[in-house]
Every structure is written in C-alpha cells, then in structure tokens.
Amino acid sequence: MTGAATQGVALRVAIVALVAGLAGCGGPSAPAAPVAAPTEVAAVKTPPPAYPIELACQGIGGTTTLKVVIGTDGKPGQIQLVSGSGNAQLDEQAQKAVEGWQFNAATRAGQPVSTTIQVPVSFNPPQPKPDECFAVEERLRRGG
C-alpha cells in the first residue's frame, strides 16, 4: 500500500470511529427497557373452611373478616381478626383455612412485594338442612 492509500484507510477508520462515538452522545438513544405494570394479589387456591356440622345444623353462621399479609412467595403470613362472625369456633376455622390459602403475590416493577389485604370468610347455614342434621339434632337433644 502506498502512503496515500494508508492515509486514506486511516482517515476512513477515524471517521467511522468518530461517527460511532457521536451516535452515543446526542443521537437517537436506544429504547429504554419497558417497566412492568404493577399487579395486585390474585387468589390461586382458596378452599372453603371446615364448617362444623353442629353449627351449620343449628343455623349458626356469619362472616369473619381477617387482615392478611400476603408475602412475596404468595403465602399468607400474619393473620389478624378484624371482625368476628359472632362465634369463636367459626372465627378459628376461618383463620385455619386462610393459613393454607395460596396467592400470586402483588408485583411492583416486575418484582413480588408483600401486600396486606382484608379477607371476608362467610359461613352460610345450608338450606334445606342436610339429612345428617337430623342425627346431629337428636344427639344434641340427648345432651351429647
């Protein structure tokens, strides 16, 4: 290669390097990574609580409201009674049920976060009464 040819190649390399360097300075920038939209807690598995047959047959029901912290793993953590059903046994069954529930955790910027929610758990006496209630009522009449 002649001296002029070498200078021409060097000049082109310098220009390419200069243009590449300027492209990052003031030119169009690369698109920013999209920020994931926040999501809320979603119930995945929430089987109903055990409803003591004696209470159901006697028509005892109500709604227990619990304050529940859903962890980043989707599992209930702290559970506190907000308002009772009027029956301690139903409140206890509601809390036991919620302890085993599963959720999809809420997210912020694509990352799971702990969230506190309120959960109502209702106990509605069955209508009409199941056949087994007749045996339960008879047992209760006999005192045992």
- What average pLDDT does the segment 117-130 reach? 93
**Confidence bin at 106 (pLDDT 50/70/90):** very high
> From the centroid of its chain, how far is CA 52?
28
DSSP result, 6-57: HHHHHHHHHHHHHHHHHHTTTSPPPPPPPPPPPB--EEEE-PPPP--HHHHH
DSSP result, 74-125: S-EEEEEEEE--S-HHHHHHHHHHHHT-EEEPEEETTEEE-EEEEEEEEE--
List, for residues 86-97, the tens digit of each pLDDT value.
999 999 999 999
- Say what the pTM is: 0.71
Residue 8's pLDDT is what? Answer: 42
List, for residues 5-59, the tens digit of each pLDDT value.
434 434 343 344 434 444 455 555 566 667 889 999 999 999 999 999 999 999 9
**Rounded Cα gap, residues 74 and 95, in angstroms:** 17
**Rounded Cα gap, residues 106 and 116, in angstroms:** 10
